[in-house]
Amino acid sequence: MISDLSSTLATDSRWHQLALQVLEGKHITSVQAEEILRTSDDELLELLAGAYRLRHKHFGKSVQLYFLVNAKSGLCPEDCGYCSQSKLSKAPIDKYRMLSADQLLDGARLAAERGSKTYCIVISGRAPNEREMTAVEMVVPQVKEKYDLKICACLGLLNDTNAQRLKACGVDRVNHNLNTGKEHYDKICSTHTYEDRVDTLKNVRSAGLELCSGGIIGMGETPSDLVSMAMELRELQVESIPLNFMHAIEGTPLEKEGNLTPQDCLRALCMMRFVNPASELRIAGGREKHLRSLQPLSLYVANSLFVGDYLTTKGQPPESDYQMIADLGFEITRTEFDSP
Ligand code: SF4
């Protein structure tokens, strides 16, 4: 009797209807996306059920793990207000130049051991210098020879030439986050522009690489800013979207931001899923802090997570992630899911 009732509720809901439209290939509008962000807590389960239909269509019950290495930390001349590695940050973080090839190979071994599908090599800085580009070009073929891993490089702004060099050495994908909506961008950074970021993504695409780009919620943006970012990601047809939940770090300009409830995080994930139904959606930094005990619900919407630590903040132990995925009845997969 209870299951009859719940299925009636789910199929009658406006989110079920919207999910059906999306499954038929119709894009949702900005107005509809903002409505998702305004869904009441009472209606949240129905919203999640609608988003799950889209997640299930494209990714089944699979969960893909990503593992990242902070290959160069701090020492960045840029002023991104959320970042503990920026020139403005007073946060007490480790600061070091590019890791050696052996250290990067060691990170790849850990990624493989932890069941990750993708190894993300991340460096701080505005853009890679020649030494850093060469280091990446040398290590990527070695990683690929030893391990069955995809490589995602996050090296800052990229021109055409550097994007093509990454493609040539075997990098599969480049991460470069939009971070927030166009209208909000100058409130979080003044040393480069939103357009610089979009240009990098276009250069990466022209080089034949996959795109990974997402953002951070909880930086004082409006719902319309968030929707604008989601729509831009749709326009750029990004394959992979990491969504971070502002983990405000003491000593950074945005140290007072990051006032999010678990429900806010779920609504933002649902909106991202409805706008970008077939893109990988990853729960990223701040998930432990802001989703807290509701973390498992987020995997009904997202299909991917970072296992282990983030750039300068700790993640939960990998065993907790494996347990959460198993408890949900989901499966870790290291290969692309073929949608039916
Ligand atoms: S986000 Fe990247 S570019 Fe911005 S301050 Fe941090 S390391 Fe530098």
Active-site annotation holds for 76: yes
Mean pLDDT of 41-45: 95
| CA–CA–CA angle 316, 176, 98 (5° rounding) | 70
Binding site per annotation, positions for [4Fe-4S] cluster:
76, 80, 83
Select which of 53, 80, 169, 273 is catalytic: 80
Where are the strands (E) in 169-228, listed by range?
Answer: 173-175, 210-212, 215-217
pLDDT at residue 291 greater than cutoff 90: yes
Percentage above 70 pLDDT, the chain: 95
- CA atoms of 78 and 80, how far apart (whole Å): 6
Structure tokens at 44: 């949240």
Q: Is residue 42 part of a domain?
A: no
Q: How many domains does the chain have?
A: 1
pLDDT at residue 340 greater than cutoff 80: no
Measured in Å, residue 123 CA sits from the centre of ligand 1 at: 9
Domain that holds residue 142: 52-332
Active-site annotation holds for 165: no
**pLDDT score of 334:** 63
**pLDDT score of 316:** 82
**pLDDT score of 314:** 78
**pLDDT score of 6:** 43
Binding site per annotation, positions:
76, 80, 83, 120, 152, 212, 282
Select which of 53, 55, 83, 173 is catalytic: 83
Active-site annotation holds for 173: no
Q: Whose alpha carbon is nearest atom 7 of ligand 1?
A: 124
Active-site annotation holds for 334: no
Q: Is residue 172 part of a domain?
A: yes
What are the pLDDT digits (tens) for 268-278? Answer: 999 999 999 99
Q: Is residue 271 part of a domain?
A: yes
Mean pLDDT of 109-127: 92
Mean pLDDT of 171-191: 96
What is the reported pTM?
A: 0.92
pLDDT at residue 37 greater than cutoff 80: yes
Measured in Å, residue 12 CA sits from the centre of ligand 1 at: 45
Q: Is residue 338 part of a domain?
A: no
Residues enclosing ligand 1, CB less than 6 A? 76, 78, 80, 83, 85-86, 124-126, 156
pLDDT at residue 338 greater than cutoff 50: no
Measured in Å, residue 261 CA sits from the centre of ligand 1 at: 26
Active-site annotation holds for 152: yes
Atom of ligand 1 nearest to the CA of 192: 3
- CA atoms of 303 and 295, how far apart (whole Å): 12
Contacts of residue 146, defined as CB under 8 A and 6 or more positions apart, other chains included, come to 105, 108, 109
Q: Is residue 275 part of a domain?
A: yes
Measured in Å, residue 17 CA sits from the centre of ligand 1 at: 40
Binding site per annotation, positions for [2Fe-2S] cluster:
120, 152, 212, 282
At 333, the pLDDT band (50, 70, 90 cuts) reads confident
| CA–CA–CA angle 109, 115, 118 (5° rounding) | 75
Three-class SS of residue 34?
A: helix
Active-site annotation holds for 154: no
Q: Is residue 337 part of a domain?
A: no
Mean pLDDT of 167-190: 97
pLDDT at residue 64 greater than cutoff 70: yes
Q: Is residue 25 part of a domain?
A: no
Domain of residue 63, CATH code: 3.20.20.70
Structure tokens at 212: 């990974």
Compute the mean pLDDT over every residue in the chain, rounded to the nearest whole number: 92
Q: Whose alpha carbon is nearest atom 4 of ligand 1?
A: 80
Q: Is residue 157 part of a domain?
A: yes
**pLDDT score of 8:** 45
**pLDDT score of 10:** 57
pLDDT at residue 77 greater than cutoff 50: yes
**DSSP letter at 73?**
B
Measured in Å, residue 189 CA sits from the centre of ligand 1 at: 9
